[in-house]
Structure 1
Amino acid sequence: MNEILNTRLMHPRDQITLVIGRIYRRGLTTTSGGNISIIDENGDIWITPSAVDKGSLQAADIVCVKKDGKIVGRHKPSSEFPFHKAIYEVRPDIKAIIHAHPPALVSFSIIREAPNTNILLQARQVCGPVGYAPYKLPGSKALGESIATEFTKGFNSVIMENHGTVVGGTDLSDTFQRFETFEFCARAILYGNMVGKPSYLAKEEIDAYEAQRPEFLPELESVEYPSDEKEKRQQICDIVRRACRQGLMISSYGTISTRWRGNDFLITPTDVPRWDLQLEDVVQIKDGKREPGKLHSRLAHLHQEIYKKHPNINSIISTQSPYLMAFAVTGSHFNVRTIPESWIFLQDVYSLEFAAHNYGSNQVPDLISKSNPAVIIKNDCVLVTGDGLLQTFDYLEVAEFSAKSLVMCAPLGQMVPINDEQVEELRVAFLKS
C-alpha cells in the first residue's frame, strides 16, 4: 500500500488501514491490540474492527458507526469504541484517535508514571503535557469517562494506567505524529536510563531556543528544475522513507539535505510529516534563497554553513534515532570503539550542549570534518555528514547500531573498547592508504 498519507484525498477507511499497518510493522501494537478511529464531517465514526488481525487489515474491514448508532460493516466495531465516542463528545476539535500498547509507553503505564515530554524539544511541542487516566475495565463506560476527563483538561496525550496510551489530533496525520513522538519520547527516557541519567529541558531553555530561531531565507524570483535537480529530490524522498521505515526518523523530526551545484542544495521542508514527504515538498536553496512558496527546514541555515565550510561534504542528515538519543538525553559518552567498522566510519563522535547548533553559532560547522562526520546535540538530535546521501545514511545506520549495542550491553557489564594500539592499526590499514 502507498506509504504516503494525504488526509485531504484519502477516505477514512484507507487512512486507518494505512496507519494501523504502519504502527503494526513498527512493532508498536500486536495482532489483536490497539484501535484507530476518525470522526467525519457528518459525525459518523470510522473505527478498526474487533478481533481482526492488525497485520493484514484491509479497508473493507473498517467499520462505520453512524451518528444515530447504526453500525455499517462486516465486523463488530472495536470493543474500545465507547471511549473513542466519549472523547469526540467532550473534544469536538479532535477528529482522530489512536489507542495502542506500544512497549515503552506501557512501561510507564505499569509503573504508573507519565513520561516527561521535556526530554526533547519537539516532544514537548508535539505531545504537550501528558494526562493520566486511572485504570478501569477495558471497553467499559467507566473507562470512557476516565479518559474523557483527561481530554477535557486539554491533554491530547494520555497514559492509561496499566493499559497503554491514547492520543488525539486534528486529523489522522496529526494524531499519528503525536503517537509516534510520544512513544519515541518514552524510549529516549527508557534507553537513557540504561546508559546514564536523563536530563530534561527547563522552560527557560526551550523559550530561549525558540527566540533564536532564524527567519526563513528570502524567496527566489524564479526556479528551474533540471534533471539533476529532480534526481536529488527523488534521492531525498527515498532516504526519508527508508529512515522512517527503519526507525531512524520519526514523523515529527528529521532533516535531510544534499548538495546540488556549488553551495546550492535541496532540503526537506518544515511542518510536513516525514512519513508523508512527496517530491514537490522538497525545497530548493539557490544563491542563499529558497524556492518560492515553500518553507525549508529550520536547520537550513546550519546545513548551508556546513556546505560552505566543507566542500567535501555533500549531504547531511539531522535526525533522532532511539538508541543514539539515549546518549543525547543523558550526555553520556558515545564510545564508538565497539567494532572496527564503527571506528573506521565515525572515529570520534562528540557531544555539544543543547542549542549549540542554533542560528549564528559555528560550533557544529567547526567540529564536523571528514574524519569526524557526526555530532550529537544534547536533548535534540544527531547530525551526520558524508560524501553522498547513501554514505551519510550508512554512517547513520552504523552510529545507531553502535549505540544500540552499547545500550544492550549495559546490563551485561562494562564495555571493553578497542584499545589505542588496535585503533592505530586501523588508522594505518584503512585511513592512510
Structure 2
Amino acid sequence: MTRHDLDALRRVVSDACRVLAGRGLADGILGHISLRIDGRTLLVRCRGARERGLLYTEPDDIRLVDLDGAAAVPGELDGWDVPNELPLHTEVLRARPDVACVVHAHPPAVVAADLAGLAIRPVVGAFDIPGTRLAARGVPVYPRGVLVRDRRLAAEMTAALGDRDAVVLRGHGLTCTGASVPEAVLRAVSVDTIARISLDVVKSGGTLIDLPETDMRELPDLGGSFHHDTAWRHELARLG
C-alpha cells in the first residue's frame, strides 16, 4: 500500500469519527474507530497533544499500529497515544476475518435503553431497512460496565458479540463492526435510532412489537450503492 493510499484511508477514518460525533454517538473525547489494513496492522484514532474530541478529528490523528498497539512504522506514534481500549478493536479483528472496521461509541440512548431493559429489536420496518435486519439478527449485550483495556476483557466482549454486527456494552456504550468504515458507522447510527425510538415508545406508554415476519419478507434489498454509498455521502454532507 502506498503512502497516498494510506493517507486516503486516514481521511476516511477521521471523517467517520466526525460523523459519530455529529450524530451524538460519541460526544466529547470518548470513542474511536479502527480499520484493518492487513493481517497485522490497523489504522486507529489516537490522542495527540492537540486532542479536542471526536468532532474535531483530523487525518493526522489516525495512526498505523500493529495488533499489540506498537507503532507499525518508526515514529508513527511519536506524540500520540493509542486508545486505552485498543484491545477492544484488535481482539475483534483477530477473531473476525470478515470484519474490516470496528466502531466503539457511547450513545446515551443505547445505554439508557439497555439499562431500562429494552433490547434492540426489529420494531421498525421500511423506516430503516438495514437497521431492521441488523436488529432481527439480534444485538447481544456484554453485561459488564468495564473499560475494555486488556485482551481478557476484550475476549469476553468479543465472545458476547459472536457473529453479530453489533454488541451493546452495559453502562458503557456500543461496539459495531463492518466490512467497511461506512457500514460500521451506519450500523451504529441504526442501533442508536432504534434505541431512541424504543425509549420514546415506552415513555409514551406504548408497547414494543417486533415487525411481523410477513413484513420482514417484503423488505427489499435496495443495494449497497443506496444504503451505503448514498447514505454515507449524506452523513459527510451533514458535517458541512
What range describes the TM-score normalised by the shorter chain of this pair? 0.7 to 0.9
CA shift digits 1:138-168 (9 cap, x unpaired): 02333201211023x3111101111111000
Q: CA deviation at 1:272?
A: 4.0
Give the 5 Å matches for 1:1-150.
Answer: 11-50=8-47, 52=51, 53-67=53-67, 69-71=69-71, 72-73=76-77, 74-111=79-116, 113-121=118-126, 122=129, 123-127=131-135, 128-135=137-144, 137-138=146-147, 139-150=149-160
The 8 Å contact of residues 30 and 54 in structure 1, kept in 2 or not, is answered as yes
Give the whole-Å Cα distance in 2 for the aligned partners of 1:187 and 1:9. Answer: 36
Q: Does 1:169 align with 2:178?
A: yes
Q: Which deviations, in whole Å up to 9, do the C-alpha atoms of 1:403-426 show, x marking residues without a partner?
A: xxxxxxxxxxxxxxxxxxxxxxxx
Q: How is 1:154-165 mapped onto 2 (pairs within 5 angstroms)?
A: 154-165=163-174
Q: How does 1:243-322 map to 2 (within 5 A)?
A: 270-277=226-233
> Matched residues in 2 for 1:143 and 1:136: separation?
11
1:211-226 aligned at under 5 Å gives the runs: none
Normalised by the length of structure 1, the TM-score is: 0.45
Change in 2 beyond 3 A, CA 1:79/1:196:
same
Amino acid at match of 1:62: I
What SS does structure 2 have at the residue aligned with 1:166?
strand
- Contact 2:134–2:165 under 8 Å retained in 1: no
> How far 1:112 sits from its partner (Å)?
5.2
Change (3 A) 1:191 1:136: closer
Taking a change above 3 Å as real, the CA distance of residues 182 and 68 of structure 1, as seen in their structure-2 partners, is closer
Q: Is the 8 A contact 1:177 1:273 kept in 2?
A: no
CA contact (8 A) 1:96 1:169 kept: yes
Bigger share in helix: 2
In the TM superposition, structure 1's runs of 4+ consecutive aligned residues that sit over 4 Å from their partners are none
Provide the secondary structure at the position in 2 that maps to 1:105: helix
Deviation at 1:11, TM superposition (A): 2.5
Distance (Å, rounded) in 1 between the aligned partners of 2:86 and 2:38: 18
CA distance in 1, matches of 2:159, 2:60: 33
The residue identity in structure 1 corresponding to 2:16 is: V
Q: Choose 1 or 2 for highest CA Rg.
A: 1
Report 1:320-359 matches (<5 A). Answer: none
The alignment partner of 2:29 has SS state of: coil
**2 CA distance for matches of 1:68 and 1:162?**
27
User: What is the CA-CA distance between 1:277 and the residue it aligns to?
Assistant: 4.2
Q: Deviations over 1:92-151 (max 9, x none)?
A: 100001111112101123335432134335222245311111215302333201211023
Task: Give the gaps of 5 or more residues in structure 2.
Answer: 235-240
Higher relative contact order (CA 8 A, sep 6+): 2
Q: Find the aligned partners of 1:136 and 1:143 in 2 and give their Cα distance.
A: 11
Describe the superposition over 1:257-301 as per-residue Cα deviations: whole angstroms up to 9, x where unpaired: xxxxxxxxxxxx7444434349xxxxxxxxxxxxxxxxxxxxxxx
The change in CA–CA distance for 1:25 and 1:68 in structure 2 (over 3 A counts) is: closer
Contact (CA 8 Å) 1:118, 1:202: kept in 2 or not? no
What amino acid does structure 2 have at the position aligned with 1:106?
Answer: V
- The one-letter amino acid paired with 1:155 is R
Establish whether residue 191 from structure 1 lines up as the match of residue 200 from structure 2.
Answer: yes
Amino acid corresponding to residue 58 of structure 1 in structure 2: E
The residue type equivalent to 1:70 in the other structure is: A
TM-score (norm 2): 0.78
Taking the aligned partners of 1:135 and 1:97, their CA distance within structure 2 comes to 19
Alignment match, 2:213: 203
Partner SS state of residue 141, structure 2: strand
Query: Take 2:41 and 2:201, find their aligned partners in 1: how far apart are those partners?
Result: 42
| Aligned-residue RMSD, C-alpha | 2.7
Cα deviation, residue 194, structure 1: 3.1
| Secondary structure of residue in 2 paired with 1:130 | coil
Identity %: 19
How many residues align structurally?
215
